[in-house]
Structure formats: structure tokens, C-alpha cells
Amino acid sequence: MLEVKGVHSYYGKSHILHGVSLELKEGELVCLLGRNGVGKSTTLKSIMGVVRPAAGSVRFRGQELCGKEPYKIARLGLGYVPEDRRIFRSLTVHENLLMGIKSGRQSAEGEAWSVEKVYRLFPRLEERKNNKGGHLSGGEQQMLTVVRTLMGNPRLILVDEPTEGLAPLIVKDVLEMLITVRQSGVTVLMVEQNFNAAIKVADRFYIMSKGAIVFSGNREELMAAEEVRKNYLEV
């Protein structure tokens, strides 16, 4: 479904991605692991077009994404949930959700996401529907960021560090939410620092170091590869 090949990206003059390649199949939940500053977020941004890759190719369902504006990529069925919970602070919760709707997009399969469905699944957001986004707690903001993206009925979502800075109890909520999302037929590519959280939810793993992929495998392979974990994950 998604095929990233030899992507090089820069921030200004600094070379961040040195030929990243990875693949996702329909329905998978894949986790991108690695230490701080190895290019995980930049990989997601390069797929979404927020950072424009200097070389390489990103293909989504047969279409080349490199060089396209983010809104065009979004309209092809990608969703992006950035780190730092970038909700629209001066919009109400309800308006934040409305912002996620893309006209004329149907869900991949099953029931499409709608404001009513979100409120049914997350009553806490309905209670706060007229509150300004900036007044929500960290956990509520994280949920809102994810469901706002789901409102556009994406086929694939890119989720950047969804559990960062959240209390352990809320981390559990957010992970359960991602599992629900995945069960609804949405493919997920997630960046995560929290190894213990990632190992519970993902089917497959990529590990990055210095702007390139250094490991790829499923849960058993990752647990077996002690050297890899020691070198690239543990502090």
C-alpha cells in the first residue's frame, strides 16, 4: 500500500534522511522506533509532503507522492497526526472535528467516521464540544488530534509519538484507541519512543539510526535481536 524508496530529506542545509526505505501492507500497524533525532518524525513528514524529499520516491496505492502539496496527499487518503498535539487552540472541539472532514471522501470500508460516531465512541469529547481546543487536557488533546484526522476517513494514518508526555493511564487509552482505529480497517504507521508501548500494539517494526533504516522485522524477530535493541534503542 505504501512504498518508500531511498528518500533523502534536508532541513535547510542539514541532511536528515539518508535514503530511507520501508513498506506497509494494507491493514498493518507498523511502528518506527529509534533514538531521538534519528529522523523518525522527518520520515513521516517526508511521506506527508510537509518536508519535501530531495530524492527518492514515495508511492501510495500506485501514486507517486513526492513533490505533491500536503493537501493533495491528504486527499488521496493519507492522514497525519503530528507530535505535540497540534489542535487548533482557538477553535472549539466541535470545530476542530469539522476541520478534519474532507468533502467527497468515503471510508476505506465499513462505517465512515462522522461527528456523531466520534461523540458516541468518546463521550468525553462530546461533553467538551463547545470548549476551546486550548483548554483541553493533554490526553483529551491527543484524542482530539487523532479523531480529527480520522474524520477525513483516511486509508493510512501516520501517527507521530502519540503517547509522548502523557500519564501512564492515558497512554493506555491512546493505545487502545489506535488498536480500535486499526480494527476499523485503517493502516497505521506510528513513530514511538516508548518501546514497551510499541511492542504491545504493532505487527512489525522498523528501527532507524542516523537517517536510515537499520532493522526490520516482526515482534519475535525484534525480541530475538538483542544486539540491535542494545545498539539502537536502549540508552
- Per DSSP bridges, beta strands 204-209 and 187-191 are unpaired
Tell me which of 82, 173, 184, 201 binds another protein, using CB under 8 A: 82
Please give the span between the terminal C-alpha atoms of the chain, in angstroms, as a whole number: 33
Q: Which of 69, 111, 127, 176 binds another protein (CB under 8 A)?
A: 69
Please list, residue by residue across 201-220, b when 16 or more beta carbons sit within 10 angstroms of its beta carbon and e when fewer do. bbebbbbbbebebebeeeee
Contact between 48 and another protein by CB under 8 A: the answer reads yes
- Determine, following the binding rule CB under 8 A, whether residue 188 of this chain makes contact with another protein: no
CB 126 within 8 A of CB 72: no
The C-alpha atoms of residue 5 and residue 22 are separated, in whole angstroms, by 7
User: Among residues 98 and 179, whose Cβ is nearest to another protein?
Assistant: 98
Q: Does 129 bind another protein (CB under 8 A)?
A: no
Binding mask 134-173 for another protein (x = CB under 8 A): --------------xx--x---------------------
Q: Which of 27, 57, 59, 99 binds another protein (CB under 8 A)?
A: 99
Q: From the CB of 172, what's the least distance to another protein, in Å?
A: 26
Provide, rounded to whole angstroms, the least separation between the CB of residue 77 and another protein. Answer: 10
With CA atoms as reference, report the closest residue to 159 among 182, 189, 131, 185.
189
**How far apart are the C-alpha atoms of 66 and 60, rounded to whole Å?**
10
Q: Does 59 bind another protein (CB under 8 A)?
A: no
How far apart CA 107 and CA 50 sit, in angstroms, is 24
195 near another protein, judged by CB under 8 A: no
| Best CA proximity match to 24, nearest among 220, 223, 186 | 186
83 scored as a contact of another protein (CB under 8 A): no
Residue 89 sits in the site that holds another protein (CB under 8 A): yes
Which residues sit at the interface with another protein, rule CB under 8 A? 48-50, 69-71, 73-75, 80, 82, 86, 88-91, 95, 98-100, 102, 105, 148-149, 152
